[in-house]
Amino acid sequence: MAADIAFLASDELRGRFTLSPDLRVAAEFLAARYQELGLVPVGPAFAVEFPLTTGARATRAPGVAVTRGGKARPLPAGSFAPVAQSASGTAAGPLVFVGYAARSEVAAVHEDGPPDPAGPAYDDLAGVDLQGKVALVLLEVPGRPDPMKLYTRLRDLGDRFNAEAAPLKAAGDADRLRALHAGTRGKMVEMLSAFVPAERLAGVWPLPEDPRTVEFELGAVAKALMAEAAKLPGPQFGFGEGALRTKVERLTKAGAVGVILVRGPRSFLTAEERAADELPTLDGLKLGEALPVPVVQVQWKTADALLGAGKQTVSKLQARIDADRRPRSGPVAGVTAEISVALDPVTAPVPNVLASLPGTDLAQEVVMIGAHYDHIGKAGEGEGECNAVRKGEVVDEICNGADDNASGTAMVLELARAWKQRPPPRRTIVFTHFAGEEMGILGSKALAEAPPFDLKRVVAMINLDMVGRLGPKGLAIGGLGSSDAWLPLLDEVGTAGLDILYEGSVATRSDHASFYRKDIPVLFFFTGTHADYHRPGDTADKINLPGMLAIGEIVGGVMLRLGDGRAVPWKPPGPGGGLAAGLPGSDPKTIVKRVKAG
Ligand SMILES: [Zn+2]
């Protein structure tokens, strides 16, 4: 396992980004290892390719035309752009302003006064007729910027601070550390002032008593910030509420035939971004399925013109909604809009790698064990998820992904190797390595949609994603709610001396979810996130190999029993059970049990 991780997480493989040639090198390495071990491909080759949508191509120039007072006027090119996920076609109808198309069930947590009555605390679409209409909708949610942008900016701010603080700490220069902290904190408060009043930010990242111990810890800062934001009066909006897909699906369900997006001037983090008001491009890397209707984004100054040339503006409407958190939706009198979009998807073939260990008397039944082998690449790839880190003179710009997920990949390989030393299993075991996980579990999704064998033959799927950093948090095993047989089976296998959290729900964030959605019982092994998660510091030298051996003992115990024909009947998700956005252990209601070592 150490050797495999060292290779997969080496700088030569540059972080195994799915759309890079480096992923192919990793796929060929896996295929060669299985060849050498004497396993067989499931189809013609170990690599099973799937088409990954990487963008879209316009087959005709897009258009938006606005009719007011009987006069049709096309929007100038450059003031709007189709989103890459847009449906193709033409949509026309009266224009309706729908605010953020947001909804909140969570009433305000008023610091003084009684809690709000039950019922939606906020709904931009309440009482709005959208049947056959074109919706003009703000991106994000009331009073909040793009959360990913905010996260990236905070991370950049923190990285710069920590790099500049390091030499001052080494020199014990408390005065300059104090000044550096004040400067960085000032920038943070300024960036956030449009969303959370400065006086509420006093408790976010305070200077410690001894300035020489000051540290910008992104997780802690983000947590403190979210806690402050949650205390603001008015309805609360969930993390996914601002997502483009959520909005468009809600609008379409209400009858809208086309959608015009706009980022309101208050939603930008800086004045430069507000002035630039960048439009989306067609080479988005996280496309997913096409949206149900044509969708374009316009610049906010253009949207102002759509609303009635001066009288009503997006700026004013957004400011009013944000100020008192009350919707301001309604038809734009006398205005109809026509959107026309024609896009073709652009795809690239990407390899999942599958190797089979054929069973004996139960060979028709399949047990899958899998791990994703892709990662986020180097700085500049994968929509900038990997951010370079400066260590003195050296800039590290490769996210090696040793824990995520060279660790799971190596453990799957090792289980295959170990099994070849033993009698063959009764059921067929398929060792599976997914690509495209970091782009939205795309490899497993594609495999579950178009498997090289009948999915009805699959009795269970075991997923290993980040099993290399066993620490004080112990091991988490998720997915126990997918079969009543899991807990007794795991109890029988034992704990290998580890602290273990047994989680009932099925986390949506890794590849097992694609199979759970096909009614296949799943388990998910995971040692938790850490400070090096999705950063250049996730390197092979930090892998806990003895920890991996102990985890491997448990996974191996599970696999031997499954290989030997153990029944794991599918359990349909009950109310409140099933898939969960959070990681194992995040919701006390779905924890099955915790076992402490010793
Ligand atoms: Zn992962």
For 531-583, how does the pLDDT look when each residue is reduced to its tens digit (9 = 90+)? 999 999 999 999 999 999 999 999 999 999 999 999 999 999 876 558 888 88
Cβ 383 vs Cβ 286: under 8 Å? yes
- Proportion of the chain above pLDDT 70, given as a percent: 95
How far does residue 434's CA lie from ligand 1's centre (Å)?
Answer: 10
Reported pTM: 0.72
- The pLDDT assigned to 371 comes to 98
CA dihedral of 490, 496, 498, 503, whole degrees rounded to 10: -10
**Closest by Cα among 502, 464, 491 to 368:** 464
How far does residue 183's CA lie from ligand 1's centre (Å)?
Answer: 35
How far does residue 401's CA lie from ligand 1's centre (Å)?
Answer: 8
How far does residue 261's CA lie from ligand 1's centre (Å)?
Answer: 32
Residues with CB under 5 A from ligand 1 (ion): 404-405, 465
Angle at 530 between CA 180 and CA 238, to 5 degrees: 85
d(CA 303, CA 471): 52
Kindly provide the b/e burial profile for residues 415-449, where b requires at least 16 CB atoms within 10 angstroms of the residue's own CB.
bbbebeeeeebbbbbbbbbbbbbbbebbbbbbbbe
Q: In which element (H, E) is residue 434 found? A: strand 427-434
- Give me 52's structure tokens: 């990954």
Q: CB neighbours of 347 closer than 8 A, spacing ≥ 6?
A: 51, 52, 53, 54
List, in sequence order, every residue forming a beta bridge with 27; answer none if it has no partner: none
Sign of the torsion angle spanned by Cα atoms 395, 382, 467, 549: negative
How far does residue 478's CA lie from ligand 1's centre (Å)?
Answer: 14
- Give me 201's structure tokens: 């930010």
How far does residue 588's CA lie from ligand 1's centre (Å)?
Answer: 23
How far does residue 144's CA lie from ligand 1's centre (Å)?
Answer: 28
How far does residue 556's CA lie from ligand 1's centre (Å)?
Answer: 20
Cβ 265 vs Cβ 300: under 8 Å? yes
How far does residue 49's CA lie from ligand 1's centre (Å)?
Answer: 20
| CB atoms closer than 10 angstroms to residue 519 | 14
Q: How far is CA 583 from CA 127, 155, 575, in A?
A: 37, 21, 19
**Closest by Cα among 171, 253, 153 to 212:** 171
Helix, coil or strand: residue 464: strand
**Closest by Cα among 460, 554, 572, 588 to 512:** 460
- The pLDDT assigned to 70 comes to 85
Q: In which element (H, E) is residue 561 found? A: helix 545-563
Angle between helices 486-493 and 545-563 (to 10 degrees): 120
How far does residue 409's CA lie from ligand 1's centre (Å)?
Answer: 10
d(CA 304, CA 290): 28
How far does residue 407's CA lie from ligand 1's centre (Å)?
Answer: 10
How far does residue 455's CA lie from ligand 1's centre (Å)?
Answer: 23
How far does residue 140's CA lie from ligand 1's centre (Å)?
Answer: 27
Q: Which regions in the chain score pLDDT beneath 70?
A: 107-120, 284-288, 309-310, 383-384, 392-393, 575-577, 598
How far does residue 437's CA lie from ligand 1's centre (Å)?
Answer: 7
For 139-165, how does the pLDDT look when each residue is reduced to its tens digit (9 = 90+)? 999 988 888 788 888 988 998 999 999
How far does residue 84's CA lie from ligand 1's centre (Å)?
Answer: 26
Q: How far is CA 321 from CA 99, 130, 161, 237, 597, in A?
A: 8, 20, 35, 14, 53
- Give me 29's structure tokens: 């390495």
- The pLDDT assigned to 3 comes to 97
How far does residue 149's CA lie from ligand 1's centre (Å)?
Answer: 21
Helix, coil or strand: residue 179: helix
How far does residue 537's CA lie from ligand 1's centre (Å)?
Answer: 15
How far does residue 126's CA lie from ligand 1's centre (Å)?
Answer: 39
d(CA 521, CA 515): 8
CA dihedral of 506, 509, 513, 514, whole degrees rounded to 10: 170
- The pLDDT assigned to 110 comes to 46
